[in-house]
Amino acid sequence: MYIQQAFKSLHEWWRYLVGFIIIFVASQLGSIPLLIAVMFKKVSDGESVYSIDENEILTTLSSNLTLFLMLLSFAVGLLAVYLVVKFFHKQPFVTLTTSRKKTDWGRVLFGFGLITVTTLVVTILDFYSNPEGYVLQFDLVPFLILAAIAVIMIPLQTSFEEYLFRGYLMQGIGVLAKNKWLPLIITSVVFGGLHLANPEVEKLGNVIMIYYIGTGFFLGIMTLMDEGMELALGFHAGNNLITALLVTADWTVFKTNSILKDISEPSAGFDVIAPVLILYPIFLLIMAWRYKWRDWGGKLFGKVEEPIVLSEENTPNSTFVEK
């Protein structure tokens, strides 16, 4: 099983605590270039740098440069996850990704394609049914720069979040708690909670936390049911990438040179939680059908037991047995 693989590496509780701190500090250090760039720009413009707020950090530089420097911290964080897992836990990185012998890239592409097609269809339908809510802002050169940044950096950003929450913390909490439901709940709530600082929360209110936390549960469920993160990796990357390229708004965390700009006044209505209540269950059913998921109760709420390893002298015919 996916979580059980952590038992094969160094999995003492303090290692996960220290490892998480290292990863967190590394990701914060990765945000320093953005702060330096903003301060340099404000100094060059003759402005004060002693009272820089979050809005100034996101709007002082060009949108493409801001996006790149924002995503850089996630790339640094992903590197930290890799180093902590490999050298601190002595765990092969593939076992943090999947229970399969190697990463199933077909699953990654399926998750990516599922949300990409859905987002395109929904956005196009909304654009034609509500054209006054959008502005076509396509500008070839800035868009090509955006595309180059997004294609490289956004998968690093989403992979960092997946490897940290659905990978490192899911396995770590699972082997410590000896069950699956607790890591699913904790990682999903914490994942959603970290989005509290997003400007979308200020604009739409706390109701949008249902979407963020629900997305955490959705990604966690598909990871546990599929015994690996491939679907979650592809889905998360596709969701963020296609959104950054296709549509932006003044009140979103990603203000990009996308094709469309949403100028409608957002409302915290049913459309905010519709993905959690309607789309996500449909996606899970599609994945369950395609990959023949079984035993939902056991995979989501079952126990996580440490494999029993019998030494050679205690096994018949001197055969190594792992239960």
Q: Could you read off the pLDDT of 32-67 as tens digits, one per residue?
A: 999 899 888 877 877 766 666 666 667 778 899 999
Selection from 215, 211, 209, 184 nearest residue 196 by Cα: 209
Confidence bin at 298 (pLDDT 50/70/90)? very high
Q: Which of 68-77, 194-203, 250-259 has the largest mean confidence?
A: 68-77
pLDDT above 50 (res 316): no
- Rounded average pLDDT over 215-227: 97
pLDDT in tens, 169-208: 999 999 999 999 999 999 999 999 988 888 888 888 888 8
pLDDT in tens, 97-132: 999 999 999 999 999 999 999 999 999 999 999 999
Q: Is residue 174 within 8 Å of 183, Cβ to Cβ?
A: yes
End-to-end CA distance of the chain: 11
Q: Give the per-residue pLDDT at 168.
A: 97
CA 116 to the chain's CA centroid: 15
CA distances to 155, 161, 180 from 194, in Å: 18, 11, 22
Q: Give the per-residue pLDDT at 205.
A: 83
Q: Give the per-residue pLDDT at 283.
A: 98
Residue length of the chain: 323
Percent of the chain with pLDDT over 90: 74
pLDDT above 60 (res 320): no
H or E stretch covering 121: helix 105-129
Q: Give the per-residue pLDDT at 318.
A: 41
* DSSP strand pairing (247-248 vs 321-322): unpaired
pLDDT above 50 (res 76): yes
- Here the tokens at position 104 are 């199933």
Which amino acid, residue 322? E
Q: How many domains does the chain have?
A: 1
Round the CA-based radius of gyration of the chain to a whole number and report it. 22
* Residue 162: half-sphere exposure toward Cβ, Cα within 13 Å: 28
pLDDT in tens, 131-165: 999 999 999 999 999 999 999 999 999 999 999 99
pLDDT above 50 (res 319): no
Q: Return the number of other C-beta atoms located less than 10 Å from residue 318's C-beta.
A: 9
Q: Give the per-residue pLDDT at 308.
A: 74
CA distance 193 to 216: 10
- Rounded average pLDDT over 221-250: 96
To the question of pTM greater than 0.85 for the whole model, the response is: yes
Q: Give the per-residue pLDDT at 321.
A: 39
Lowest mean pLDDT among 159-163, 193-197, 264-268, 281-285: 264-268
Selection from 236, 197, 218, 222 nearest residue 287 by Cα: 222
Confidence bin at 323 (pLDDT 50/70/90)? very low
Q: Give the per-residue pLDDT at 277.
A: 92
Q: Give the per-residue pLDDT at 309.
A: 63
CA distance 304 to 28: 33
Identify the domain containing residue 28 by its residue range: 3-322
Its sign, for the CA torsion 225, 229, 231, 232, is: positive
* Residue 317: half-sphere exposure toward Cβ, Cα within 13 Å: 2
Task: Calculate the average pLDDT of the chain.
Answer: 90
